[in-house]
Structure 1
Amino acid sequence: MNDTAAASGVVLPDTDMSALRVWLGAVGIEPRGEITGARIGFGQSNLTYVMSDEAGARWVLRRPPVGHLLASAHDVAREARILSALADTDVPVPRIYGVCRDDTVSPVPIVAMEYVDGTVLSDRRAAEPLPLETRHAVGIWMTDTLARIHTVDLDAVGLSDLASHKPYAPRQLKRWSTQWEQSKTREIPELDALTRRLAATMPEQHETTLVHGDFHLRNVMIDPASGAVTAALDWELSTLGDPLADIGSTLAYWPEPTDAVLLGEPVEVMDGFCDRGELARAYLQRTGRDPQALKYWHALGLWKVAIIAEGVLRRARDNPANRAAAGVPTPAHVDDFVARAVAVADDAGL
C-alpha cells in the first residue's frame, strides 16, 4: 500500500496526507496500514481530529481553523509549548509529540499529541450513563484542576515569559474589545456600555498565575467512574493573569435551567451536576481567594464569552468548513450572554 492510499481515510483541510505520514514517523508515530480519522469537539476554533491506524494505535492532530484568522488567535504551536511545559506537573494534560511547521505538509502548523483515555461530556448521551454522584464530582474535580493550574511554578516550568505580568483586567478588556471590533456582525450598545463599566471597576490584582483562559465542561476529559479530570484540553487562550479570571469564565460557560437561552441541550443542567454557586464555593474554599473579586470576573467572563460566540458565528458564516456538528451560536445566544453579564454586574454593584 502506498502512502497516498494509506492516507485515503483522512481528510484534513489543505494537508498533504502522504507528507504528514512521513512527518509523523519523524516524531515517533509510525502508523501501520491505513490511517483513518474524524473531527471531534464541540468547539469551533482550532480543529481537532482523533486518528488511528489498522493496529489500533490512536493519536490526536490539531490545526487552526480554515479561513481568515485574527492576529494571535488559534496559535497551536504556542498551545503545544504550554502543554509540553506542564508535562511534569500535577496538571493533567496530554503529551505532545511534535509540531509540524513544514509548508509542504500544511500551510498552517499541525500539532500531534497523545490520545488520552476518558470521556468528554459534549452532549447528554455522554453524560447519561454517569451516576448522580459522579456527575456532581465532575464539577468539584474541575475546580480542583483549576486550583492546580493556578499553583504551577512559572519559573520552574519555563512559562514565566509566556505573557505580560501587567494587571490582567486591562489586558483582557483591550484584547477582547479589539476582537469584538474585528469580528462583530452587528452593533450591540449594551455590550459597549458594559465594556465601559468593567473598565471603571477593575479589582486590584494580588497575584499572577498561569491562566487556562477557556476552562469549561467540554474542554476537559473525565474518568466516567469517578468524575476526575484526566486531561485539561484547548489551551489556545492560556496566558498569565489573575487566577479568578479562570473560575469566572467557567461560571460564565456553566448554564443553569433558569437561563433564558440555552445552546442545544447542555449537560450542565442535567440532574446531579453542580450549579454555579457550588462551583464558586468549591473553588473559593480550595484557594481562599476573594469572593467579591470573583463577581467581577464572572461578569467579565460572560462579556468575553459573548464576544467569542460572535466570533464563532462570524467564522462559520465566512467559511462553512469551520462549523462544528453541534452547530453555531445565534445572535440570540450572544444577546443572552450580554444580558446575563449585565445582570451579574448589577448584582455585584459594578
Structure 2
Amino acid sequence: MPSPLTETRTLPELVELVLAEGRDVDLTGAELLVGWENAVIRTADGWIYRFPRLGPESYRRELVILDRLAGTLPVRTPEIAWTGRRAEFAAYRTIVGATADAESLRTAPEEVRLRTAQSLAAFLAAMHSRFEPAERTELGIDRFDPRAMAAELEEALPSLPAAARAGLRTVLDAFRETGLARPEPDPVTLHGDFHFGNLVLDQPTGVVTGVWDFSCVAAGNPSLDLRYLLRDPADLGDLIARCYAEVTGRELDVLRARLAGDLEELTDALTEQRPIGPVLRSALSQL
C-alpha cells in the first residue's frame, strides 16, 4: 500500500485532469489532501474529486460498493455525481457536518458520550450486516488478516536494534494469544478505515450523520473496525463495544482491536522509515 509520503502528483497536475473532462467546475481555492488510499481535491464550493492510489481495480470496486450501500445505512454516504472518462476519479458533493471534538467528547457527561457511542455502534452494526459471503466474493471483498502484518514485522525483526526487537516480540506474543492469530470463523463486512477523519457528526459532540472512504472495505472480525477509533483521545472504545453488543448480541474485543491497530501502526512506521520506538512504547503501555 502506498504511503502518503510517496505521492508525486501535485495539485496543479490533478486539477488539470479534472479540467480536461470539460465540465463546468470551479477549482478556485481548491486544496489537495493525500491519504494512503486516495488523493483528494476538495473545493471551496463543496465538491470532492477523489483519485485512487491503489489502482483501478480498487477504485472500481469502491464505486460498486457505494452504489449497493446507498440508502442501506443509518448515515449519509458519498453519492457519486460523475466519474472521469480520461482519468479515473470520482466526483461527489461534500458530506456536510461537524468534525468530532475528541477532547470535549472525552470529558463530556456520560449521556453525551453514550449517545455518540450508540450512533457509532449503530453504523458498525449496519455495515457489518451488509453483503453475504457470496456477494463479498462477487465484489472482490478480501479478508483483512492481521497475521500478514505480524509476518511482516517478524521478517523485519533481525534488522531492528536489540531493544526494539525485545519490545516487538512482546507485542507479537500478545497478538498470538488473541483470536487474531487464527482465521476468523464468522467474518463480517468491515468498513476498514473507520475513524473520526472519515465521518461527520450533527454537532462536535453529537451523533454520526455521514461516513465516507469505503476503499478499504474487507471481511473480518468485527472488532477490527475499532482499531483506529482506539487511537483517538475521545476514548469511546469500551462504550462502543457495549452498545454494539446490545444491538447485535456479539462482543467486540477491545484488546484485540488495539493490538491490530498497533501492528498496523508499526508496519506503517517501517514503510515510511520512521522510528518505531514511540509506536512501540505506546503499544507496550496498553498491554
Shorter-chain TM-score category?
A: 0.7 to 0.9
Contact 1:74 1:236 in 2 (8 A): no
- Of 335, 342, 345, 2:280 maps to 335
Partner of 1:145: 123
2:13 matched residue in structure 1:
14
1:212/1:34 Cα in 2 relative to 1: closer, same or farther (>3 Å)? closer
Deviation string 1:58-80 (CA, Å, 9 cap, x unpaired) is: 21122356xxxxx7799444433
1:281 to 242, 258, 261: 242
Of residues 216, 221, 230 in structure 2, which corresponds to 1:252?
230
- What is the distance in 1 between the residues matched to 2:251 and 2:60? 34
- SS of the equivalent of 2:81 reads strand
Q: Is the 8 A contact 2:83 2:90 kept in 1?
A: yes
Question: Deviation digits for residues 20-64 of structure 1, max 9, x if unmatched?
Answer: 224273xxxx32x564312358x6663333214xxx4x2112235
Deviations 1:225-267 (A, max 9, x none): 88221222233322112222213x1453234xxxxxxxxxxxx
Match of residue 298 from structure 1: 258
Note if contact 1:46-1:62 (Cα within 8 Å) is conserved in structure 2.
yes
More helix by share: 2
- SS of the residue 2:146 aligns to: helix
Q: Which residue of 2 aligns with 1:198?
A: 175
Summarize the Cα distance change of 1:295–1:79 in structure 2 as closer, same or farther, 3 Å threshold: same
SS in 2 for 1:231: strand
Deviation, 1:224, is 1.0
In the alignment, the residues of structure 2 paired with residue 310 and residue 98 of structure 1 have an alpha-carbon distance, to the nearest angstrom, of: 37
Verify the 8 A CA contact 2:82 2:91 in the aligned structure 1: yes
Distance 1:233 1:63 in 2: 14
Partner residue, 2:41:
49
Q: Report the equivalent of 1:210.
A: 189
User: In the TM superposition, what is the alpha-carbon distance from 1:331 to its structure 2 partner?
Assistant: 4.2
CA–CA separation in structure 2 for the residues paired with 1:196 and 1:72: 34
Determine the C-alpha separation between the residues in 2 that align with 1:82 and 1:180.
Answer: 34
- Distance 1:87-1:110 versus aligned 2 partners, 3 A rule: same
Deviations 1:301-334 (A, max 9, x none): 33223333554x44xx7xxxxxxxxxxxx64541
Does residue 38 (structure 1) correspond to residue 22 (structure 2)? The answer is: no
Q: Which moved more, 1:90-99 or 1:212-221?
A: 90-99
* Aligned-pair Cα RMSD in Å: 3.9
**How far did residue 216 of structure 1 move?**
1.8
Going from structure 1 to structure 2, the CA distance change for 1:122 and 1:338 (only over 3 Å counts) comes to same
Question: In the TM superposition, what is the alpha-carbon distance from 1:223 to its structure 2 partner?
Answer: 1.0
Please report how far the alpha carbon of residue 211 of structure 1 lies from its aligned counterpart in structure 2 after TM superposition. 0.6
TM-superposed CA distance for 1:146, in Å, is: 0.8
After TM superposition, the structure 1 stretch with the greater mean CA deviation from structure 2, 220-229 or 72-81, is 72-81
- The verdict on how the C-alpha distance between 1:278 and 1:177 changes in structure 2, with shifts beyond 3 A counting, is same
Equivalent in the alignment of 2:64: 81
Distance 1:74 1:35, change over 3 A: farther
Instruction: For residue 148 of structure 1, report the CA deviation from its aligned partner.
Output: 1.0
Contact 1:307 1:334 in 2 (8 A): no
Match of 2:90, SS state, is strand
Partner of 1:174: 148
Once residues 204 and 45 of structure 1 are traced to their aligned partners in structure 2, the CA distance between those partners, rounded to angstroms, is 25
Q: Determine if the alignment matches structure 1 residue 61 to structure 2 residue 49.
A: yes
Q: Deviations over 1:146-180 (max 9, x none)?
A: 11111113479x54433346xx5xx3211564489
Assess, with a 3 A threshold, how the Cα gap between structure 1 residues 153 and 306 changes in structure 2: closer, same or farther. same
Whole-angstrom distance in 1 between the partners of 2:13 and 2:118: 41
1:23 corresponds to which of 2, 21, 24: 21
Provide closer, same or farther for how the CA distance between residues 99 and 309 of structure 1 changes in structure 2, counting only shifts above 3 A: farther
TM-score (norm: length of structure 2): 0.72
TM-score in terms of structure 1 length = 0.61
2:152 and 2:228 map into 1 onto residues whose CA distance is 22
5+ residue gaps, structure 1: 1-10, 66-70, 256-267, 269-273, 318-329, 344-350
Distance 1:82 1:64, change over 3 A: same
Instruction: Give the secondary structure class of the aligned counterpart of 1:47.
Output: strand
